[in-house]
Amino acid sequence: MTREPLLDLIQVGGLEIDFLRRRATLGGTPLRLTPLELRLIRVLAANPGRVLSRDDLLASVWPPGTYVSSRSVDSLIKRLRRKLPTEDGHPLIATVRGEGYRFHIS
């Protein structure tokens, strides 16, 4: 996987995530994101429109040597989606069946 540089700040609609300060807000209201959720959204946002497989995400989000199943990615995505807004009716994190996940920016 070719990796883009990780972003320090993303803004999509009313969502703002400041990775340096480890803070996220939606319309100015703080979002409570876990460190793993922040790492996941940062990796996805650094690759907008690109499909990242579960293996890509496992290698990029969890610390090396940590044993987690590929279903851990699914659980983390599900938790994160509940906290994030949709953009033009689309979830910010889209599922690409049989392939992985993509960060959607219109």
> Distance of CA 23 to CAs 16, 20, 26, 33, 94, Å?
8, 8, 10, 8, 23
pTM confidence score: 0.82
Model pLDDT for residues 41-91, shown as the tens digit of each residue: 888 888 888 999 999 999 999 988 888 888 899 999 999 998 887 767 778
Q: What is the pLDDT of residue 8?
A: 86
Q: What is the pLDDT of residue 66?
A: 87
Q: At what angle do helices 70-83 and 54-61 cross, to 10 degrees?
A: 80
Residue 39: CB atoms within 10 A of its CB come to 19
